[in-house]
Amino acid sequence: MEVPGFVHDSVLLNEAVDALDISGKRADGVYLDGTFGRGGHSRLILERLGEKGRLVAFDKDPEAVRVAKEIGDPRFEIVHGTFAALEEVLEERKIKAIDGILLDLGVSSPQVEDAKRGFSFRLDGPLDMRMDSTRGMSAREWLAVETEKKIAEVIYQYGEERFAFQIAKEIVAGRAIQPIDSTKQLAQIVARAVKTFEKGKNPATRTFQAIRIYVNRELEELEIGLEKAWQRLGLEGRMSVISFHSLEDRIVKRFFAGKATVKMPDRRLPIRASELPRPEMKLLGKIKPSAAEVKRNVRARSAILRVATRVALPEGGVSAA
């Protein structure tokens, strides 16, 4: 259930949707919202779509799917699942190509503010952390059986936490005494292991981030989803991706850079200019939230929006209508 009185404020709402360029003939195209959340971006996309336009949204969270089903727009469809499976979803719907995709990565504010979801170290609740609470292993179940070495690796790799070894050691010692079932228990264990941390930042921040990312396979699904979306993106199609921490942004930046560059042949070879390889992608920019948005919504402070468009198709590639 939603947290009473809590309203979700979509980060970079207008900027991310503006970047899709839903205008003219493109207004009747096919768009994907890979992370519906509470629907801020999807609703704005629908406002700009033409009568023949179509929007398919994805979300792993059953509560987000419930909210999405209340929209009631015939141009809109919600899929309960990860955007990494978009290829299969598009095949089932006989959608050959898309005109744009928007990804708002990370955990949504309603998930964090709901203690029962177990995402927050500030709120005491069951240690779950799954985006999709209907499947997969929870954080509690994982921490109960994983080795100390693997726990340390996860906290270091996904949380960039320099006290990862000490935290893992405390977790294994703590679970030997009693099961680690709640967010409060985990936060207290981490606090004992982390000797120094950034001013104004809870010592459990990086550990909670790391375990959440690992349990939900967030980075693996991002890499898969970006490539699958790119394969289906038609000529002049747009990709609009909002990331919230360095690991996500690094993946997006590296992916975009790879598609926007090509290996040029030896300049000494007799090749016409028209025969030179062309990059498939053009980078359109990087946008950060305004000071006013950050003041209104603290969650926006670390957000980065990267935008790109397809400028060339591979041989035999798709072309959006």
Contacts of 108 (CB under 8 A, 6+ apart): 8, 37, 38, 61, 64
* DSSP secondary structure code for residue 28 in this structure: G
119 marked ligand binding residue = no
9 marked ligand binding residue = no
208 marked ligand binding residue = no
Kindly report the three-state secondary structure assignment for every residue of 222-271: HHHHHHHHHHHEEEEEEEEEEECCHHHHHHHHHHHHHHHCCCCCCCCCCC
Query: What is the phi/psi pair of residue 263, to 5°?
Result: -85, 115
Q: Are 86 and 34 in contact (CB under 8 A)?
A: yes
59 marked ligand binding residue = yes
Question: Which residues, listed in sequence order, are joined to residue 77 by a DSSP beta bridge?
Answer: 56
Which residue in 239, 232, 259 sits closest to 318, CA to CA? 232
CB contact burial 22-39 (16+ within 10 A = b; e otherwise):
beeebbbbbbbbbbbbbb
104 marked ligand binding residue = yes
Annotated binding-site residue numbers for S-adenosyl-L-methionine: 39-41, 59, 83, 104, 111
Q: Which residues are annotated as a binding site?
A: 39-41, 59, 83, 104, 111
